[in-house]
């Protein structure tokens, strides 16, 4: 079994981040336009040095940042995470020229990054990507609605991307996209290539999507968008490795985001039940209430420990990172859904009023159970890893 505890310096840093989020980031988040990239907020994250840490810190630091920011400002947490998700493939797999062009601007908050993996027919089933790169001359007229992205070879070192990406965070407001397209004929994980595609490439357009929680997310349309060997991240036909390497790092930190929201809901519930009088006393004096609060705290702490253990395993280059990452994301996101829902129940109707912390968290907490691999996908990963380990015995 893995034991885990944080050092005093780490705990102090988390407290500092929560204070910064409340005092400097929350006001900027409140001024942002719902559903659009908040560039002022991203610039402040860069000015505070937090975006730069995405490229110099390990998974544990990433989790501590995301939990701490989420506790006080989910918008700041999400802005930081999306910069990391979109730019990590450049940091980990990019050429020196790609890194030199984009990473300094991501770190200072002047360039917005995005991770373009999902398609209308390939969300949780990432291996089903159909955006292709094939040997065709450029064709005008746009791509038909709902078509998958294809990468058509245009010579030996050039391709044309045609099709769609959907549910892409920071689209269409990003400055560049890490785009995954099928370059080989093989189905499944084989034959996928990752490309770094600047937003100003001809033929690339997009539109915003109106989601339950106001969040910068949209769809992208590729009409014979030109890319070359200079735009490849990693190696041709090995893009699935780029995608999974990125997700193995960020999945535990999605759990950290969820834990931050759960802790905020728990703390709000502790305050509410201590001050709310009903049935001749405070709510916390009712056993039915106190037991629910205890369960919220128990699940939140269990999720936190699993997230931090998974992050530590990643930093230690443990062979069981895929299983641990999947477990951490699964437990933490399902836990946060339970904790926030229970907090709303204990607060009553006031928690459903627009502008209430729990009304905000109630909308925010739903999406993490879907993106970067839905809960069902995480269960599949866990089972696959367990069965493989049993067969190796």
CB 172 within 8 A of CB 222: no
Ranges of the chain whose pLDDT falls below 70: 1-4, 122-130, 132-148, 155-156, 186-188
Quick check: bond before 172 cis, omega within 30? yes
User: Which of 302, 163, 148, 313 lies closest to 225 in space, CA to CA?
Assistant: 163
pLDDT in the model for residue 363: 95
Per DSSP bridges, beta strands 176-182 and 204-208 are unpaired
CB-based contact 133:160 (threshold 8 Å): yes
State pTM to two decimals. 0.90
pLDDT score recorded for residue 140: 44
Phi, psi dihedral angles at 38 (to 5 degrees): -95, 90
What does each C-alpha distance from 392 to 81, 215, 263, 385, 389 come to in angstroms? 36, 44, 39, 11, 5
Farthest-apart Cα atoms in the chain, separation = 79
User: Angle of helix 39-47 relative to helix 74-93, nearest 10 degrees?
Assistant: 70
CB 161 within 8 A of CB 227: yes
Q: Helix, strand, coil shares of the chain as percentages rounded to 5?
A: 55, 15, 30
The tokens describing 116, both together, are 């373009």
Question: What is the model's pLDDT at position 187?
Answer: 61
DSSP string over 107-147: HHTSS-EEEE--BTTBSS-GGG---EE-S-----S-PPTTP
- Give pLDDT, residue 78: 96
Q: What is the pLDDT of residue 147?
A: 56
């Amino acid at each position: 079994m893995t034991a885990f505890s944080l050092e005093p310096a780490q705990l102090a840093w988390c407290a500092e981040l929560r204070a910064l989020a409340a005092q400097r980031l929350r006001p900027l988040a409140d001024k942002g336009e719902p559903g659009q990239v908040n560039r002022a907020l991203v610039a402040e994250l860069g000015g505070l040095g937090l975006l730069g840490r995405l490229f110099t810190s390990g998974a544990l630091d990433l989790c501590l940042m995301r939990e701490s920011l989420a506790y006080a400002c989910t918008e700041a947490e999400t802005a930081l995470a999306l910069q990391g998700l979109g730019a990590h493939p450049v940091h980990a797999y990019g050429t020196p020229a790609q890194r030199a062009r984009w990473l300094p601007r991501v770190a200072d908050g002047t360039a917005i990054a995005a991770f373009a993996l999902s398609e209308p027919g390939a969300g949780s089933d990432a291996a089903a990507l159909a955006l292709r790169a094939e040997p065709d001359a450029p064709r005008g007229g746009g791509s038909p609605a709902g078509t998958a992205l294809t990468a058509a070879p245009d010579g030996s070192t050039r391709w044309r991307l045609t099709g769609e990406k959907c549910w892409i965070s920071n689209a269409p407001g990003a400055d560049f996209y890490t785009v995954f397209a099928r370059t080989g004929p093989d189905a499944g994980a084989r034959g996928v290539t990752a490309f770094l595609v600047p937003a100003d490439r001809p033929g690339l357009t997009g539109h915003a999507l109106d989601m339950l929680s106001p969040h910068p997310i949209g769809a992208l349309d590729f009409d014979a968008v030109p890319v070359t060997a200079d735009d490849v991240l990693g190696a041709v036909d090995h893009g699935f490795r780029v995608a999974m390497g990125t997700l193995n790092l960020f999945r535990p930190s999605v759990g950290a985001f969820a834990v931050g929201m759960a802790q905020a809901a728990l703390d709000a519930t502790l305050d509410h039940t201590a001050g709310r009088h009903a049935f001749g006393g405070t709510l916390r004096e009712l056993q039915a209430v106190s037991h629910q609060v205890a369960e919220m705290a128990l699940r939140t702490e269990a999720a936190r420990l699993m997230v931090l253990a998974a992050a530590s395993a990643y930093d230690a280059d443990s062979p069981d990172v895929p299983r641990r990452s999947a477990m951490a994301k699964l437990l933490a996101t399902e836990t946060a859904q339970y904790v926030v829902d229970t907090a709303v129940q204990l607060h009553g109707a006031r928690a459903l009023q627009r502008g209430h912390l729990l009304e905000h968290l109630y909308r925010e907490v739903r999406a993490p159970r879907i993106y970067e691999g839905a809960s069902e996908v995480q269960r599949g990963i866990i089972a696959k890893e367990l069965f493989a380990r049993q067969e190796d015995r």
